[in-house]
Amino acid sequence: MEDQLTPNSTTGSVRVRPRTSRACNVCRARKVKCDGNLPCRKCAQSRIDCIYPGGVKSRSDGTKRPIAPKPTQQRKEPSEAGTDQATQPNTRTYDDPVTNKKQQELRAGIGAFDRNTDAYQFYGPSSHFSFVQRLYQRIRRQSNAPLNVLPQLPEGLRQWGIERQIFTHGDEKSSQKSTIPDGSFLPKELGEAFISAYFTLMHPQGPILIECEVRQTWNVMWTGPGLAPEHSKKFAKEKAILYMVLAIGARLTDYGDASPSSSDEWAHHFYERAGVPTDSFEETSLLGTHLLLMRALYGMQIGRPNMVYLYLGHASRSAMALGLHRAQVVAGNNSFLNRLRLTFWTIFYMERMMSMFTGRPSCFLDDLIDAPYPDDFPQSDDGGQNIEFAYIRAMAVLGKISERIMVGNYSPTRAKRVADLTEVNRVNGECSQALRDLLDTLPSYLHFFDDKTPTGEAWQEVQRSCLGATYHVACILINRPALVYVTFFDSKQQAQESIGDRIDIQRDINLTVSSAKNLISLVHDSFFNRCPAMRRDGNMVYFIVSACLVLLFDVLDTETTPAHAREVFQAVEKGLKCLDRIDHIGSTTGRAISLDVMKIAKDALKSTEPTSHLGSNLMESFTWLNNEMFDQSPYDAAGSWLYNSLEMPSFDYSTVGMTDLFASNGVDLAGPSDSNQMVLDVMVQGLQVADGSYIPSQSVPQGLL
């Protein structure tokens, strides 16, 4: 570059002012002159890192040095006073604005807009939905595009049918009013089956209710309207909680070979009848708090994460308004205070988990909570199934760790630059160690990491599966950003060079994939061996799908070998078998969702065809990838094909102590014979819906049997 001639103000002569041949990244981005020093004057004034392009930093003597030296390398810089400062490791990396922007994009969320209802929902970078869109962009080779710009439904969610898990618009079963008319009968045995299903599968995950109290309210329903204390506000809330137990239980009931539609109608009916009294938001009470939590549990079963997040937020604030987060309120040895602690820590862990799953902030601040954990009961004096609460204590610890993961790894304010990754890596290491320390505190029946653990009681197996699935998701979310970050570059090596040695990308990817495989193996073992009843818990869909998507994301790496891809797809196939065994989640089915995952898998393989032969090799090994029914609707149309192609076995639930109420020797649900009859009571006892209330029925007309 030519020298620049400027006049001398004192002599009038012309002096030569040399121009630098290179400008630092910041000055180049700002389009201002750079003096070429290290640091340059403008960077020094702004107190920011002064970094030059080309993988080197300029020195005044013309020599060059690498931008990202090893942490063990040290250098001395003169202080302003002319004395040497203490030597410190130099961990600067290629910290240019473009690389920093990639770090910020890595922590971007996704917005979903429904033009039909003007509804809008936001999901953060840790959410399942954001990762789905990331996967879609990678398959379409749009990795550098922003996640979501326009006010619309992201293309990946729309193309793969994921929008039905976000909005209720267009979902007739979720948006319509209950179709249970006056004159309909709920068989007493069926209602008791709903209650039993709730306390078998849901109560172990959140033991906030006392079973004998719920059954007592159920029995009061059979005394007739004249004997029930209908005008008592307390009894009204007790009835609402009973209705929620019936609604959730209807979702969890085993249908055998029968259609679940009738029980789904009852689930929706009782959910609507329960409602939420206005005073639950204005005058807090323990019953009102329980009711809010029950509404959230119902949302889990119908696959509505936004609904769950909102109701858990209401329940959390209600619990704190009651002072359940403070030791001065809940500390003590009696069973009632222990129940208060159970209520708080159940809400706490569920709210924290849902915050992590949706990528949204939590209501709780750990520094303001000093409530002790619940103690194990010396004996079952509450009529419940389990008297040990190690599960709640462990999930509470997971809830605290999840907040550190969210703040340290996914916060938009904590990792704005590459230089911040040193702190991110430190926090990730602490979270990983905390997770390992948690394993040492677990009783043997919760050892999800040991497949040789003897099969326990039903409530123990439910807790073991749920704890293990949540644990593995936490491990995935610690390391998953590395999997996404690689997609911003042409290779893993280039991605690693952009951040130096602050984070080991390949190590984090390996840990993410390993956690996903372990999660699928755990759920598969539970569904097919240890506790087949768990397949009725629709909430398990989230865990299975999340693990499958991580594995498919990894397969898209250009360095994937056929052997590794085959191993990954074997794990995905196990996940698909688990999904296929889930009866229903909301208005759809596990088989429909497994079909969605297979469509994603096929799209992923197609995207590798220009650079590899993975698709053709895997389609020979996994025949379900060749089926042409991926694009057909409705989704259940392929259900029978999917069941047969994956060679699903049938189960004898009597071997695990479960009764199939819909078998040939169980309760027979007849379809509606006319517009006034939804379900018939074949046991001569039932509750009849009449004018918005329920009247005990002693018999059913013989002509209708």
Q: What is the pLDDT of residues 8-39, one digit of tens each?
A: 444 444 444 455 557 888 788 777 888 888 88
Percent of the chain's residues with pLDDT above 90: 31
Q: Which region holds residue 350: left if phi is over 0, alpha if psi is between -120 and 50, else beta?
A: alpha
Statement: residue 512 has pLDDT above 90: yes
- Supply the pTM of this predicted model: 0.76
- Residue 175's pLDDT band, with cuts at 50, 70 and 90, is very low
Lowest mean pLDDT among 136-140, 221-225, 284-288, 684-688: 684-688
What are the pLDDT digits (tens) for 281-329?
788 899 999 999 999 999 998 888 999 999 999 999 999 999 999 999 9
Q: Which domains does the chain have, with CATH numbers?
A: 1-67 (4.10.240), 108-168 (no CATH), 452-651 (no CATH)
Q: Which two tokens stand for residue 430?
A: 């602490």
The predicted pLDDT at position 630 comes to 47
Say how far residue 415 (Cα) sits from the centre of its chain.
22
- Evaluated on CA atoms 542, 544, 549, 551, the torsion sign reads positive
- Give yes or no for residue 212 having a pLDDT over 60: yes
pLDDT at 510 exceeding the cut of 50: yes
The per-residue pLDDT for 64 is 42
Distance in angstroms (rounded) separating the CA atoms of residues 178 and 273:
9
Task: Locate 614 and state its tokens.
Answer: 């993975």
| pLDDT tens column, 618-677 | 666 676 666 554 444 433 333 333 334 344 333 343 433 333 333 334 333 333 333 233
AA letter at 705:
L
Residue that the structure tokens 């004997």 belong to:
227
As to burial, measured by CB atoms within 10 angstroms (0-12 exposed, 13-18 middle, 19+ buried), residue 21 is exposed
Q: DSSP states of 141-164 as a string?
A: T-TTS-S--SSS--HHHHHTTGGG
pLDDT attached to residue 194: 93
Percent of the chain surpassing pLDDT 70: 67
Burial track 248-275 (b if 16+ CB lie within 10 A, e otherwise): bbbbbbbbeebebebbbbbbbbbbebbe
Name which residue leads in pLDDT, 225 or 439.
439
